[in-house]
Chain A
Amino acid sequence: MLFAAMITAAPALASPPHTSVGSQAILEHCWSSAQLRGTARDQILLELEDAALFNRAPPARTRPLVPAQPLPAELRGSIRSVALPPGDKRIALTFDLCEMASDVTGYDAELVNYLRRHRVRATFYAGGKWMRSHPEKTKQLMADPLFELGNHAWTHGNLRYLATDEAAEQILWTQAQYELLREELAASACVRRLPAAELTAIPHRLLSFRFPFGTCNDSALRQLAQAGLPAVQWDIVTGDPTRRTSAKDIARRILNNARPGSIVIAHANGRGWSTAESLDLFVPRLRQAGYAFATVSELITAGRPHIVNQCFWSRPGDNDYVDGRYGKGTEKPWPR
């Protein structure tokens, strides 16, 4: 069967097609190259030690207005990688932009600049509160045709632990916050001077979801299916939020485990300590080995997702301790 599929498959594509979203014209009209480059300051993490500073305000809109189709059966569950047609050697780099109620995280300008300079497609899973604290970065990422944005919950809630209504807030507030920023961009003079097609190319909603802590349960998976958001996990863990993970470690883990259709998890909120530095250690080598980079939606569209019914980091049960240590997950546990 597999053999038959291989001989009848289309010849390998030299340059796989991709469904480009975003607008280079908007990116160039609304920000100068210096603004897009950002500064080293963007990366600094801010821990809020005083509970009075925690920002628990909901977004200005708490329910998304853009209608969503419930997920088809073949996309329900936890996606760990995608089986691609033979010859399609694309992988998806994903970077989480986590932000809890108890912190304000950063933006890894060096990492994004590398991706832009070397035309590396990638997907960013943004916390809803992260988008609110970083509105201009969010608008830049959503406009950039190189990138895709996904939902990483409002304040990094542990969806396995939260009550159903709290889990719904984590998902829907984030969808709504994206809409607010897209609307602000749409109303901006720099966009309104351009043909309407440029704006239309920017997705109206976040296209997929990444579970904070990689934890889920049936109820959370059902809610996402209802909200039309595929739950995207990974098959390659970089371990980049651990300080002792070096750039070489990250590159080695990716190079040793990359298969066509792989999904890599890393961070771009300043918590990926060596992530930016690691890019040049694996991006050129993957390209030499015939790999190309795609967004998560492009992978899902091109192939058949490998789906499981539970959520874990590398093997089932390996994140069970999260509920005891983090509880709801929306605040860093004491002692901080």
Chain B
Amino acid sequence: MAHCPPRIGPVALASAVLLLPPPVAGVPEPRAALLDYYAAVDSGDCARAAALRPGYAQSACAAIAGTRVLAATIIAREAGRAVLSLSVTVDKRDGPTQRFNGQVGMRRCGDQWYVPSWAFSNAGGSDFTERFLNGSLDHSTDFCASTVPVPAAADVVASPEAPPVPDPAPAAVAHGTVTVGSPYLLARCWTDADLAALPHEAELTTATAPLPPLRRQPAVDRWSGTAQPPFMNLRFVRPAGGARLVALTFNLIERPGEVAGYDTDLVQALRSARAPATLFASGRWMQSHPERTRQLMADPLFELGSLGWDHRNMIFPEPNEALRQWRLADAVYHQLRWDLSHRRCTADARGREEMAHIPALPTLLRFPYGRCDRSALAVAATAGLPIVQWSLVLDDIAHGSSIESMRTRVRDDLARRGPGLIVVGHADGRGRHTAAVVRLLLADLSADGYQPVTVSTLLSAGEPVAYPACFEHRPGDNLDYDDRFSD
């Protein structure tokens, strides 16, 4: 294969897979089931509500106009039983709003948690908790025999307080998709108007003033350790079973002297096609696009990786400059996420819970200009994250590229080199026609049976192929960047 270097053999980076968050597992969660139950009552899905709460009459559910869970916290939990403190308001169709403040017991049968109809205690206290857990309150010896399978949720009519939550799931791949972010928060924290483009936003312009980093210290420092070699730079993945996967990645770069853009057109093209993608951002770009960064963090379609602070070539920095670059990017990301977690839209119990789906720090790294050396690799490796190069260049920043030339080349390359490639383009206003090409490419990929996935999903789908070096197509082919960008 043309992209294989002649002498250095590809090294399977098995450990990279272990470093990733595990795929979303089917561990049942009593609190989620309780919220599920109230959501079913609230939306009038009484069949589902009755299934989640054995012994509860659907007619009682039908008499309720709406519910609002104000708080639900697990206070005790065992393998098959849990007790939660609960505060909920219930609007009766023909009566006043009632409030329940107390405790509720839950039972687990198989992989499903249920709310026994009788297990609500107004008085609460440790007495109820203890007696529920030890079974002395049970109404029957075999609760699970009385349960029925829980039907899927019916379509929910949105209320103004709970905005419609779009279906987050891109078509699932057989091996499981690594998803970060929260469709709930994306819908709750921003309107369509907030996600839409602003005039001039995609433009890359010259900065009139320097932009120092606002946050200098990461709250969590993952750069203080040392890593054991080999230090590897991921180029592509060999998906198990030859699954036709491809990872689209876009850089969000801001260099000193620049005000970088945000290619809303491209992002909206990915959103409307439900095409997952990975975005690698300079810390400086995140700082100049705080609200866009938070939207990307929350969007389950996207994964965010770090490019360091201001896209300096990591080959020539003075001692500790590489560390400073990675740390500054972590610091701004962490601050932006912290801000999001202290907003109105994340203040309630659900909002707080959903924030857990947004990674605390970027989950991937990429070297600016795709350039590194052994010492730069060793520094980057200390965070224990996959370091991601690319194996197919969209060439959206090359002057000679046209929509058709880019489209044809990517399609030909995929046909020749097979699945598992990592494509790189730009979403910071640097790219020419990037959105237009991507729209066509997404249609081509779909026609050819390819599925776009994030880098983490790709990594979880097969055998990573990584090299202890940085290059475009073959070792040594990008050294000219060191002359052009050595400051």
Chain A interface (Cβ < 8 Å from any Cβ of B) = 29-32, 34-35, 37, 39-41, 44, 46-50, 52-53, 55, 57, 60, 104, 106, 132-136, 183-184, 187-190, 192-193, 195-196
Stretch at the interface among B200-208, B453-461, B476-484: B200-208
A135 to B70: give the CA distance in the assembly, Å: 24
A184 B290 Cβ-Cβ under 8 A: yes
**Besides A30-B198, A53-B347, A184-B214, 10 other CB < 8 A contacts?**
A29-B199, A32-B193, A37-B193, A46-B347, A47-B70, A50-B87, A52-B73, A133-B344, A190-B201, A192-B288
Evaluate whether A189 and B261 lie within 8 angstroms (CB atoms) in the complex, with A35-B194, A39-B191 already known: yes
B347 A48 Cβ-Cβ under 8 A: yes
Contacts of B73 in A (CB 8 A): 50, 52
Contacts of B138 in A (CB 8 A): none
Contacts of B342 in A (CB 8 A): 55, 57, 132-133
Which of A31, A32, A60, A193 has most B Cβ within 10 Å?
A: A193
A41 B207 Cβ-Cβ under 8 A: no
B198 A136 Cβ-Cβ under 8 A: no
Evaluate whether A189 and B289 lie within 8 angstroms (CB atoms) in the complex, with A49-B87, A132-B342 already known: yes
A49 B70 Cβ-Cβ under 8 A: yes
Contacts of A136 in B (CB 8 A): 194, 291
Q: List 8 A-B contacts (CB under 8 A).
A: A32-B198, A34-B196, A44-B160, A53-B347, A189-B259, A189-B261, A192-B207, A196-B209
A104 B207 Cβ-Cβ under 8 A: no
A52 B70 Cβ-Cβ under 8 A: no
Contacts of B191 in A (CB 8 A): 34-35, 39
- Nearest chain B CB to A176's CB is how many angstroms away? 13
Which residue of the partner chain A has the closest CB to B189?
Answer: A136
- Nearest chain A CB to B421's CB is how many angstroms away? 31
Interface string of B340-354 (1 = CB under 8 A from A): 001110011100100
Contacts of B163 in A (CB 8 A): 41
A195 B208 Cβ-Cβ under 8 A: yes
Interface string of B281-293 (1 = CB under 8 A from A): 0000001111100
Which residue of the partner chain A has the closest CB to B188?
Answer: A41
Q: Which of B71, B203, B207, B261 contacts A49 (CB 8 A)?
A: B71
Which residue of the partner chain A has the closest CB to B196?
Answer: A32
Which residues 239-270 of B have a CB within 8 angstroms of A? 259-262
Contacts of A39 in B (CB 8 A): 191
A135 B288 Cβ-Cβ under 8 A: no
Q: Which of A37, A55, A60, A190 contacts B335 (CB 8 A)?
A: A60
Contacts of B289 in A (CB 8 A): 188-189
A30 to B335: give the CA distance in the assembly, Å: 21
A48 to B72: give the CA distance in the assembly, Å: 12
A55 to B342: give the CA distance in the assembly, Å: 8
A32 to B196: give the CA distance in the assembly, Å: 9
B259 A50 Cβ-Cβ under 8 A: no
Which residue of the partner chain B has the closest CB to A34?
Answer: B193
- Nearest chain A CB to B70's CB is how many angstroms away? 4
Which residue of the partner chain B has the closest CB to A181?
Answer: B339
A34 to B402: give the CA distance in the assembly, Å: 35
Q: Which of A46, A104, A193, A196 contacts B200 (CB 8 A)?
A: A193
Whether B101 is near chain A, meaning CB under 8 Å from some CB there, is yes
A136 to B205: give the CA distance in the assembly, Å: 24
A119 to B344: give the CA distance in the assembly, Å: 28
A53 B259 Cβ-Cβ under 8 A: no
- Nearest chain A CB to B132's CB is how many angstroms away? 20
Which of A35, A37, A49, A55 has most B Cβ within 10 Å?
A: A49
Interface string of B33-77 (1 = CB under 8 A from A): 000000000000000000000000000000000000011010000
A37 to B196: give the CA distance in the assembly, Å: 14
A192 B208 Cβ-Cβ under 8 A: yes
A30 to B349: give the CA distance in the assembly, Å: 31
B288 A188 Cβ-Cβ under 8 A: yes
Q: Which of A49, A134, A135, A183 contacts B101 (CB 8 A)?
A: A49
A187 to B310: give the CA distance in the assembly, Å: 14
The 8 nearest A-B residue pairs measured at CB:
A50-B71, A34-B193, A49-B70, A133-B344, A104-B347, A189-B288, A49-B87, A192-B259
A136 to B290: give the CA distance in the assembly, Å: 11
A104 B349 Cβ-Cβ under 8 A: no
Whether B161 is near chain A, meaning CB under 8 Å from some CB there, is yes
Contacts of B101 in A (CB 8 A): 49
- Nearest chain B CB to A50's CB is how many angstroms away? 3
Whether B118 is near chain A, meaning CB under 8 Å from some CB there, is no
Contacts of B347 in A (CB 8 A): 46, 48, 53, 55, 104, 133
Q: Which of A31, A50, A135, A192 contacts B198 (CB 8 A)?
A: A31
Whether B338 is near chain A, meaning CB under 8 Å from some CB there, is yes
B214 A183 Cβ-Cβ under 8 A: yes
Interface string of B347-363 (1 = CB under 8 A from A): 11100100000000000
- Nearest chain B CB to A112's CB is how many angstroms away? 15
A126 to B471: give the CA distance in the assembly, Å: 53
Q: Which of A37, A46, A53, A196 contacts B344 (CB 8 A)?
A: A46
Which residue of the partner chain B has the closest CB to A54?
Answer: B347
- Nearest chain A CB to B182's CB is how many angstroms away? 17
Which residue of the partner chain A has the closest CB to B348?
Answer: A46
- Nearest chain A CB to B341's CB is how many angstroms away? 9
A53 B352 Cβ-Cβ under 8 A: yes
Contacts of B194 in A (CB 8 A): 35, 136
Evaluate whether A192 and B209 lie within 8 angstroms (CB atoms) in the complex, with A50-B349, A133-B342 already known: yes
Whether B220 is near chain A, meaning CB under 8 Å from some CB there, is no
Contacts of B205 in A (CB 8 A): 193
A132 B343 Cβ-Cβ under 8 A: yes
A190 B198 Cβ-Cβ under 8 A: yes
A173 to B6: give the CA distance in the assembly, Å: 61
Contacts of A106 in B (CB 8 A): 344
Whether B153 is near chain A, meaning CB under 8 Å from some CB there, is no
A40 B160 Cβ-Cβ under 8 A: yes
Which residues 290-348 of B have a CB within 8 angstroms of A? 290-291, 335, 338-339, 342-344, 347-348
Evaluate whether A188 and B198 lie within 8 angstroms (CB atoms) in the complex, with A32-B193, A50-B70, A53-B348 already known: no
A52 to B200: give the CA distance in the assembly, Å: 43
Whether B211 is near chain A, meaning CB under 8 Å from some CB there, is yes
B209 A53 Cβ-Cβ under 8 A: no
A35 to B338: give the CA distance in the assembly, Å: 23
Contacts of B349 in A (CB 8 A): 50, 53
A189 B201 Cβ-Cβ under 8 A: yes
- Nearest chain B CB to A270's CB is how many angstroms away? 11
Which residues 208-255 of B have a CB within 8 angstroms of A? 208-209, 211, 214
Contacts of A46 in B (CB 8 A): 344, 347-348
Contacts of B344 in A (CB 8 A): 46, 104, 106, 133-134
Contacts of B70 in A (CB 8 A): 47-50
Q: Which of B262, B287, B335, B339 contacts A135 (CB 8 A)?
A: B339
Which residues 158-172 of B have a CB within 8 angstroms of A? 160-161, 163
Which residues 54-108 of B have a CB within 8 angstroms of A? 70-71, 73, 85, 87, 101
Contacts of B208 in A (CB 8 A): 192, 195-196
Contacts of A34 in B (CB 8 A): 191, 193, 196
A29 B198 Cβ-Cβ under 8 A: yes
- Nearest chain A CB to B330's CB is how many angstroms away? 15
A222 to B353: give the CA distance in the assembly, Å: 42
Which residue of the partner chain B has the closest CB to A41?
Answer: B160
Which residue of the partner chain B has the closest CB to A129?
Answer: B342
